[in-house]
Amino acid sequence: MQFSYYLDVEERNMNSNMEVIAVVEEWAASHDNWDEFGPVSVQLGEEKFRRIAIVSGGETLIDTRPDLPLPTSARYPIDIWKSSTQWAFQQFDGETAANERAMLGMLPANVAGAFDLSAVTRSALLAQATETAECLGLPVEEAVRIWPNGRPFIHPMALEGSKCSTGTLAEPAETEQRALDELTTGMNTCLIRAGIPPIDTLVFDPAPTSDHQISFAVLDTAETLRAVAPGSEARCFVAAAHAQSDDFVAPPVDLYLTDHRGDYRGLFDLSPGSNARIVAVVLAILTLVLATAWYITSPVLRQVTTLSRATRKLADGDLTTKVPVHDDEFAELATTFNTMARDLQISRDQQSQMVNDTAHELRTPLTNLRGWIEGAQDGVVTLDRDLLTLLHSETMRLQHIASDLQTLTLADAGRLALNSEEMDLSALIEQTVRATAVTARKSGITLAAYASPDLKVFADLLRLRQVLDNLIANAINHSNGTMVTVGAKLTGDFVEITVADNGQGVSGDALLHLFDRFWRGDPSRSRHAGGSGLGLSIAQRLVTLHHGTIEAKNLPRHGLIVTVRMPA
């Protein structure tokens, strides 16, 4: 009974502390000093049954129980900029969620700073937001969110497909624009000092994730929006925002919270006799548990030791490490470890092969460029229009390889976003064939298309066009045939797209490697035909991102057919 009572007390105290901290942090974000917080702390302490003391640099600014000494614990640092600075120095990998990265471009919670709006401007913007919400047929309290500076906003998702006007909501007020310009200038000064190219301008985030924090985005010269990047850019943003709005927030302090008596009761605040009995019982139980555990777990400890040694060897780079699999509780763990080691070995081999293949592909155009340029420098070759055309061709080949490698890298890292929508597949195939027909005719190939009319598919238009372009280009450049046909039809719950040629097909087990990067096993598919050697690999990754499949097989008589299946 007494134990349960103290648990309840501790839980109430913790909840009260969290509520007090929230009020203190909100004050710090919206005031530039602590001068008038005294009455607020007194009322808050009475409501939450807490003793509240605020200390700055060893000096007590506010204390609801000045007759008691400060506690040696129960201290909570209050620093509005601490979390933002921590986010700016956070390390982000490729799998980090987008909403976590968005924290980099935000002011601290409840901070308005230099972006605070006047009452007149707030009223005008709120009237416009109310009008837009009513046009959308949405309740104002659900559709309209308000930032700490008084700016209302409606999330763009609520406006999709709507003709309702947002009026002045889409543009910053005059005072906000001045603050944005000042923040951009401060951020660029920091970036230039760090030897990093400056950004073009900062704007308000058009799709904010929080109504408690003013968030920003970077508008590039190409009129494209992006989030503030991790690293130096994020740190320069925090430094500029801190310098701009520091005069609008209260200085950092230490907050002390205890009960009204000035002490903080622990979980086992019992009499000495009760404490002694509890300790004796706990020691007896602990001795029994340890003895039993030692008897039962000795075999387990040996397995753990073996696995630990193998793990250290694996960490040192020995990917051939394996552990024995016995018929016991560790069988599944040992099997999983061996599988992981094997997969790491395969991954390292694939990475090594990828690097070698990339170097091999880049070596030929680079050697060509160097040879012709050195010949021109030595006067052996005339620097005329034909040579410039040749150099331009080799440069475009390098750019093609780099672009394809970037696409594959983004896809492998899960960062290649799709903008899928319902689209007319029949029209896309017809458009692609028309665009490629001239190139096919120059190669002596007839390009034809047949597709079921009004065939719809839910996909990213640009990425699906890239798949078709790669498959058609592969058939034109490498089939050694005279005819390439592109078709599409509905098969059950799937849309089936085919690209077939009447060439010589692919011999032997080469079909198993057809979608491998830089693979050219068949002599007819040499690099002299052009391309980066990545087209089919890119097509496979893009189809997989659409939850589809792709396969290639030889036709019965002659030729090769590549079939793409995607959900209808």
pLDDT at position 168 over 80: no
Q: Are residues 162 and 109 in the same domain?
A: yes
CATH number of the domain to which 426 belongs: 3.30.565.10
209, 232, 258 — which closes off a domain?
A: 258
Q: Are residues 36 and 87 in the same domain?
A: no
The 10s digit of each residue's pLDDT in 251-276 is 999 999 888 776 545 444 554 556 67
Q: Are residues 95 and 106 in the same domain?
A: yes
Residue 563: pLDDT band with limits 50, 70, 90: very high
Q: Are residues 50 and 198 in the same domain?
A: no
Q: Are residues 240 and 99 in the same domain?
A: yes
Q: Domain of residue 11: give its range.
A: 2-79+250-258
DSSP 70: P
Q: Are residues 542 and 437 in the same domain?
A: yes
Which amino acid makes up residue 517?
R
Q: Are residues 140 and 43 in the same domain?
A: no
Residue 243: burial class (beta carbons within 10 Å; 0-12, 13-18, 19+):
middle
Classify 459 as helix, strand or coil: strand
Inter-residue contact 553 to 561 (CB < 8 Å): yes
Q: Which residue has the higher pLDDT, 357 or 373?
A: 373
Classify 397 as helix, strand or coil: helix
Q: Kindly state whether residue 216 falls inside one of the protein's structural domains.
A: yes
Q: Are residues 9 and 105 in the same domain?
A: no
Q: Kindly state whether residue 389 falls inside one of the protein's structural domains.
A: no
Q: Kindly state whether residue 283 falls inside one of the protein's structural domains.
A: no
Least confident of 109-113, 171-175, 220-224, 237-241: 220-224
Residue 360: pLDDT band with limits 50, 70, 90: low
248, 278, 297 — which closes off a domain?
A: 248
This prediction has a pTM of 0.44
As a whole-number percent, the residues of the chain with pLDDT over 70 amount to: 85
Q: Are residues 433 and 555 in the same domain?
A: yes
248, 282, 299 — which closes off a domain?
A: 248
Separation of alpha carbons 159 and 174, rounded Å = 25
Q: Are residues 91 and 172 in the same domain?
A: yes
Q: How many domains, in total, are found in the chain?
A: 3
Which tokens sit at 450? 């047949």
Task: List b or e across 291-313, with b for residues whose CB sees 16 or more CB atoms inside 10 angstroms.
Answer: eeeeeeeeeeeebeeeeeebeee
Q: Are residues 96 and 239 in the same domain?
A: yes
Q: Are residues 73 and 175 in the same domain?
A: no
Q: Kindly state whether residue 415 falls inside one of the protein's structural domains.
A: no
Separation of alpha carbons 551 and 549, rounded Å = 7
